[in-house]
Amino acid sequence: MGRVLFNSEADMARVIVRWLADQRWEIFQEFQVKPGGARADIVAARATHLGSRVQAVFPCVRTLPSAASRNESAGSSLNRFLADL
């Protein structure tokens, strides 16, 4: 078993947000595209040197579900969130 790097998901989110801010990303926490839709812990965006925008979604979880349920639960959550976009 690996070592614990964060005491809570909130601790993890603070580190990610601090790093993204240092890298000049635009940060949205507890981001929800539409009312009642899926919510992402952190969404970040920034413009590229070519003028397009890059976006990234960060789930802040300390444990991963088993391989069988991971494909269904994590994948379906992300798919629901992306479908709202």
pLDDT digits (tens, 9 = 90+) for 3-28: 667 888 899 899 999 999 999 999 99
pLDDT digits (tens, 9 = 90+) for 17-57: 999 999 999 999 998 888 888 888 999 999 888 888 888 88
**What does pTM read for this prediction?**
0.67
Cα dist from 77 to 5, 15, 72, 80, whole Å: 24, 23, 8, 5
Average pLDDT over residues 76-81: 62
